[in-house]
Structure 1
Amino acid sequence: MKTKIFTTLLAAAFIVQACDTKKQANDEHAHHDKAEMHDGEHMHGEGQAHAHAEEMNPDKMEASTVSKEQLESMLSSYFSLKDALVNTSAEEAKKAASDLVKNLTDEMSNLKSLVSGMQQKEDVEAIRADFEKLSSSMYNVVKANADKVEGAVYKQYCPMAFNNKGAFWLSQEETIMNPYFGDKMLKCGKVQEEL
């Protein structure tokens, strides 16, 4: 009887040890999965990034003060770009991006780079992805220059954009016309804020 109890306890100890070793291996594997390669050179842990990663982060871009005329020109071109994406037209979007680049100030070099890149893209979905970043930057510019805005500007949001990640855009009309889905889900969205 003592032999059976000893054997059972010994087997249980081995099982517990094996499970603990497997958990540690899984934890180490999960840690490596959270790290990301950057330019194929070295690893970054979760939450780490180089300073240059912030350069294209629209939330970190300077919200430049612009003249009333510059703001009106920028918004006009931005709204044309939004409308082109509502119509799912890459050609119209590229033309509107070209107009917008001309209206951006020299201090907005990161934004100019983003919009210039949009002009080179043929795929409307790729342009839409950049439009999300552009919208965040334009929101910052409009907020910084709120006293110069003529008429209403609406911040509108679609929770289903980009595989349910959600994204917003600016509009001069309260009616929802979704640039991220075009005619697939034209009315998907809601007004989040009137600027």
Structure 2
Amino acid sequence: MIATMYTLDRKDCKALGLKDVYGVHKAVYNLFPENNGQGRDFLFADKGGDWNGRKILILSHREPIQPRHGAIDCREVPAAFLDWDYYGFEVVLNPVRRDNASRKLIPVRGRENLHEWFLKKAPGLGFEVEPHSLQVSRMGVEAYAKDGTMRTHNTATFIGKLRVIDPNAFKKSFAQGIGRAKAFGFGLLQLVPLTSDIQ
């Protein structure tokens, strides 16, 4: 796996038309030409920025091409990086649940509901979260225009400490991302190894 920081200054952002999540989506996809029909093999998280520019974190199975605008800094993710027991984490998710009756996807809203939703979801992803460490922020909706229509994604950022309970599932969650709308910058599990437990 390759971790890349994509750095864009103000002129780059203007040239790429980075006005919304769809603009960021297109800028990142341009770094990864069609892969013999294999589909998307990368994840990204918009780290935001300020008046001067922005940064986008990318995790991929292959190196991105050199961009026309901005600069990339690529580093191999060491195999041992995923062998720790405890991590601090941050992940931006599209929190939805499927309604049993209608089969429609329903947005999960409200801090307490989001907190409970993520704690229940985590074990299936190979880890458990220390409940008292879990913070939910930046709750809202990402809106963007595509094909002449306005579209939206429910969004929330989850930050906390986790303990790995199923190493294989955890590695899959890291490599493939978690949740829905990964093509639009959701689901990249950003990790920092911790040397002690989460108590």
Higher normalized strand content (fraction of residues): 2
Q: Same fold (TM over 0.5)?
A: no
TM-score if structure 1 supplies the norm length? Answer: 0.25
Q: TM-score, normalised by structure 2?
A: 0.25
Structure having greater relative contact order (Cα 8 Å, sep ≥ 6): 2
Q: Which has the larger radius of gyration?
A: 1
